[in-house]
Amino acid sequence: MVYYQKMTPEGYKQIEDEIAALKADRPRRVQNLKEARALGDLSENTEYSTAKRELRHLDSRVRYLNKQLKYAEVIETVNDGKVNLGKQVEIRYEDDQEVEEYRIVGRMEEAVGDGKLPFDSPLGHALMKHKAGDRVKVKAPMGDYEVTILSVK
């Protein structure tokens, strides 16, 4: 069974850009490996070992990212007023009345502290398919809490 990774068009583009940057850097890494190999005895050549490891890491990352794109399910946003991937949602935490705004994103797009919220996180999962005005109970590992959705854009 194949599992598709849900992501926004922006997240898909972000992965494509990272692949392009890694591929552009590959010739430099190959050259570093050639230069390190030319230094002589490979068994005690830390430059060679380091260059080889860095090239393997780069190639591994490209393979991983290509697989993410292969199994990506790009979700286009629909203006239906409901929380979904790609939407901006403003919520109020009911326990302390704090207001936060998040962009709902796929797992591969998450970045801590930049206003992105993965759809499959406890909060993201609870918000999905709800609309402005809904009060939602979030089941989280550290305890349940409630939020009210103030707006969905």
Hey, what domains does the chain have and what are their CATH numbers?
5-74 (1.10.287.180), 88-152 (3.10.50.30)
In this prediction the pTM is: 0.75
The pLDDT tens digits for 99-111 are 999 999 988 776 6
- Asked whether the predicted pLDDT for residue 112 surpasses 60, the reply is no
- Asked whether the predicted pLDDT for residue 16 surpasses 90, the reply is yes
Q: What mean pLDDT value characterizes the chain? A: 90
Residue 114 C-alpha from the chain's centroid: 12
Number of residues in the chain: 153
Question: From the CB of residue 79, how many other CB atoms can be counted at a distance below 10 Å?
Answer: 8
pLDDT at 45: 77
